[in-house]
Amino acid sequence: MSNAQPLTELSADQLAAFRQEQQAAYETLKSSGLKLDLTRGKPSAQQLDLSNGLLQLPTSYVDAAGTDTRNYGGLQGIAQLREIFAELLWVEPEQVVAGGNSSLTMMRDTLYYLMLSGGVDSPRPWAQEEKVRFICPVPGYDRHHTLLESLGIEMLTVPMQADGPDADAVAALVADDPTIKGIWIVPTYSNPAGAVCSQEVAAKLASMPTAAPDFKIFWDNAYAFHHLTQDEAKSADVLSLASAAGHPNRPIMFASTSKITFAGAGVGFLAASVEQVKWYLGHLGKGSIGPDKINQLRHAEFFGDADGVRKHMRGHRDIIAPKFAEVQRILRQRLGGKGVATWTDPIGGYFVSLDVIPGTASRVVQLAKDAGIALTPAGASYPYGNDPDDTNIRLAPTFPVAEEVTAAMEAVATCVLLAAAEKLAG
Amino acid sequence: MSNAQPLTELSADQLAAFRQEQQAAYETLKSSGLKLDLTRGKPSAQQLDLSNGLLQLPTSYVDAAGTDTRNYGGLQGIAQLREIFAELLWVEPEQVVAGGNSSLTMMRDTLYYLMLSGGVDSPRPWAQEEKVRFICPVPGYDRHHTLLESLGIEMLTVPMQADGPDADAVAALVADDPTIKGIWIVPTYSNPAGAVCSQEVAAKLASMPTAAPDFKIFWDNAYAFHHLTQDEAKSADVLSLASAAGHPNRPIMFASTSKITFAGAGVGFLAASVEQVKWYLGHLGKGSIGPDKINQLRHAEFFGDADGVRKHMRGHRDIIAPKFAEVQRILRQRLGGKGVATWTDPIGGYFVSLDVIPGTASRVVQLAKDAGIALTPAGASYPYGNDPDDTNIRLAPTFPVAEEVTAAMEAVATCVLLAAAEKLAG
């Protein structure tokens, strides 16, 4: 069908006609007064409703260990909750810290400690190094990038592939350059590509020689349990791999319940070697007398055990999988075969990564904005907001209700087609 | 009565007899198998019970502004709660940040931002200065000191007087020394002396010339509403004073509900000039998507308004004032007139500061420990744990139940008398 003909194969006249068609469609879109938002990986109200039981918990303020959770103390977080997430993350409870409402803040704190004091294996505080650099697989998570940038940590990029970061590229970079102190990875259902870091890639990263003695893998497992299908990806066991390779303090794992229970009122987790947990708590203890243990107990009671978490996540899947399917349906139907875009079809996580014709991502985002559709700024998935090919757009379909996903994606498709036609018409 | 005769006026024989008497009393004490703790300024279970209503709140997850508090966002904290504490702290709601469960962590974060990036008025990040120093009024709060020490910030001391830090001494230090970047003050019912910083002292600190352009007053108003009598001290309005003196960004105020509601699950607050709040949020936003708004809403609902907080604090007073009275009774009865100790009789806060004969504080703490009474380590109220006169002991009577306070204080008195007799006997 002509509808699926690649735009590059159209004659000049055909392309002009196609462009006019898309322009007309876009004008109609613009006049329809939409106000939609596909920018942020936020759970929808319906998803949040799954956790409303938390609002009546805890039933008692005394935890399983007999601690009055209302008072100060317990820097590492309550064992009752650490046990549940230790099982889910395949680590021991003593390797887990349960913190406040944000794993991003725990990552930030870890970076601050490294900057101001250095790690367990650092020759000096990172702030005293002439230069500190980090590897960022791209496309990646903008908040990782802005945090590194705010600390003056330079970013190098490697491609994020279907099985995780390009491990050979990473190994080549870190082998001789002691200024490269770390890599930040979303290993499971990566933001935004939905990639799952394989056991092989994880093993390479865990064992590769690094010029920096204190090289860190920030293993941000934000979507570890966020399956969209019954084909549930298992996160690579990076702590065991690193330990076996003689680098027990290389990885630091992070996770949270932000996209499990309440985005703003969940519990963040850090997991690492026992030595590194001790290091983290040593620094944490200088500025904290303990986390909100009541909220931790609230969560432990709500889940009951690790299976409680797994079961709860199926409730999320039932709500958001249809939205992801709708994104796929519209992309396939509107853009399939046109040679103007490729996109991911993730089996978990919160995003679809859309690659449009190089040089048109910003134009697509602008067109969408003018038509009332907020998209994540083009380039947002790249350090310094700089997508060198201006090709990547991150789509986040969880927050809008289903009809809005449909309307927004139809609009996105129109914008992609119009931008492509403009580009090809030169 | 001979019982109240200063020990220094005793003859050698009398002193020897006195010492023997105290030694016997101490042996009895030791054999009575006590296990008591006067170390930490923690609320008692009975105080925590005052806030158990929180466990059933919030009744709705939507705040007064219509925000779904379950989701991400709202970096500054919900207006509904900021309004209540703005009124209590005499500032505008836009000057207040409502954070997580710890104002200590907000102070730490502020220091981190200053170290890594510098303040609104800093020529460079503090970490890039050759030397950074802070003034610590003594006796003071050990956690302030350990935090500064962990960041390599040197500490200078000035005396904490009944009306606040010795402002003339402070002014003399900061006038010509640009390495002195700040002072940390507990202005109301100070830890441990119970001093209240007067409007005059606050005005001097707010207006004094400082060699450092980015000099900061960390105004840790942890006990602002923690009155022990109906003579309720009003905190000096340091933000207005500094603003009027042309130094709007000099003070940063901190407060929290840790000793109002639940010590581990309260809400911390920061208040400053609007410009400085913007600076703080700019840094905070690099590593946080927002605080636990549900816990903030829980608190806003619980209090209702500022008067709700004031009323709630009278419940605390009713519980802890008798404990403080018991401390005074025993100190007066056992040590009064003996010339071996002086102590504060605070009208608010969490502590009694006991000064024993110079050179005997460590000995008192050791004797107490051996008899099963945990006291805060001697010197804990001084930077680097170094009380040059070995004279100060911090007593924290809120956590134990009333009978324990009595038993512990009787024991402390015995230890003070024995240590004094030992010392005077040479």
pLDDT at A2: 43
Can you tell me whether residue A423 is helix, strand or coil? helix
Question: Is residue B398 within 8 angstroms of chain A, CB to CB?
Answer: no
Asked whether the predicted pLDDT for residue B319 surpasses 70, the reply is yes
Residues in chain B within 8 Å Cβ distance of A46? none
CA dist A61 and A63 (Å) reads 6
pLDDT at A40: 84
Mean pLDDT of B250-267: 98
Q: Which DSSP state fits A358? A: T
pLDDT at B3: 60
Same domain, A396 and A289: no
End of a domain among B287, B304, B321?
B304
Asked whether the predicted pLDDT for residue B2 surpasses 50, the reply is no
CA dist B421 and A26 (Å) reads 93
Asked whether the predicted pLDDT for residue B170 surpasses 60, the reply is yes
CA separation (Å) from A307 to A52, A57, A193, A228, A294?
A: 19, 19, 27, 17, 21
Residue the block writes with tokens 């027990």: A248
**Mean pLDDT across chain B, nearest whole number?**
97
End of a domain among B304, B324, B358?
B304
Does residue A356 lie in a domain region?
yes
Q: Give the nearest partner residue to B150 out of A107, A286, A289, using CB atoms.
A: A286
Same domain, B94 and B196: yes
Question: Is residue A108 within 8 angstroms of chain B, CB to CB?
Answer: yes
Same domain, A277 and A172: yes
Same domain, A109 and A142: yes
Nearest Cα neighbor of B77 from B268, B227, B312, B321 is B268
> What confidence tier does B130 reach under pLDDT thresholds 50, 70, 90?
very high
Look up the pTM and report it: 0.97
Same domain, B148 and B175: yes
CB B319 within 8 A of CB B362: no
Q: Express each pLDDT in B216-231 by its tens digit.
A: 999 999 999 999 999 9
Distance of CA B232 to the CA centre of its chain: 17
CA dist A136 and A149 (Å) reads 12
Does residue A55 lie in a domain region?
no
Same domain, B11 and B70: no
Calculate what percentage of chain B has a pLDDT beyond 70: 99
Residue the block writes with tokens 């609104």: B120
Mean pLDDT of B29-39: 94
Does residue A53 lie in a domain region?
no
Q: What is the CATH number of the domain that holds B126?
A: 3.40.640.10
Residue the block writes with tokens 């038509």: A371
CA dihedral A409, A414, A416, A420 (to 10 degrees): 170
CA dist A93 and A104 (Å) reads 21
If you count residue pairs, one on A and one on B, with CB atoms under 8 Å apart, how many are there? 149
pLDDT at B66: 97
DSSP state letters, A239-272: HHHHHHTT-TTSEEEEEESTTTS-TTS--EEEE-
Same domain, B112 and B212: yes
Mean pLDDT of B164-168: 98
Residues in chain B within 8 Å Cβ distance of A74? 264
CA dist B110 and B280 (Å) reads 7
User: How far off is chain A from B285, nearest CA to CA, in Å?
Assistant: 9
Can you tell me whether residue B411 is helix, strand or coil? helix
Same domain, A140 and A202: yes
Asked if A287 lies within 8 A of B108 by C-beta distance, the reply is yes
CA dist A214 and A205 (Å) reads 14
Q: Give the nearest partner residue to B104 out of A69, A101, A287, using CB atoms.
A: A287
Does residue B368 lie in a domain region?
yes
Residue the block writes with tokens 């009744």: B59
Does residue B193 lie in a domain region?
yes
Task: Domain of residue A341: give its range.
Answer: 7-47+311-425
Nearest Cα neighbor of B261 from B299, B304, B297 is B299
Does residue B52 lie in a domain region?
no
Residue the block writes with tokens 């352009």: B213
Same domain, B159 and B293: yes
Does residue A413 lie in a domain region?
yes
Calculate what percentage of chain B has a pLDDT beyond 90: 98
Rounded to a whole number of angstroms, the CA Rg of chain B reads 23
ipTM of the complex: 0.96
Q: What is the CATH number of the domain that holds A320?
A: 3.90.1150.10
Q: Express each pLDDT in B378-407 by its tens digit.
A: 999 999 999 999 999 999 999 999 999 999
Same domain, A300 and A413: no
Q: Which amino acid is at A162?
A: A
User: Who has greater pLDDT, B426 or A347?
Assistant: A347
Nearest Cα neighbor of B114 from B46, B215, B5, B225 is B215
Q: Give the nearest partner residue to A127 out of B58, B105, B127, using CB atoms.
A: B127
Please give the average pLDDT of every successive group of 10 residues along chain A, which has 426 residues.
77 96 97 93 96 97 98 97 97 98 98 98 96 98 97 98 97 98 98 96 98 98 96 94 98 98 98 98 98 98 98 98 98 97 97 97 98 96 96 97 96 98 92
Same domain, A218 and A362: no
CA dist A283 and B348 (Å) reads 31
Does residue A222 lie in a domain region?
yes
Can you tell me whether residue A146 is helix, strand or coil? helix
End of a domain among B256, B274, B304?
B304
CA separation (Å) from A407 to A20, A58, A356, A414, B100?
A: 21, 41, 19, 11, 38
Q: How many domains does chain A have?
A: 2
Residues 253-272, chain A: which have Cβ within 8 Å of B? Answer: 258, 262-265
Mean pLDDT of B308-325: 98
Same domain, A222 and A98: yes
Asked whether the predicted pLDDT for residue B1 surpasses 50, the reply is no
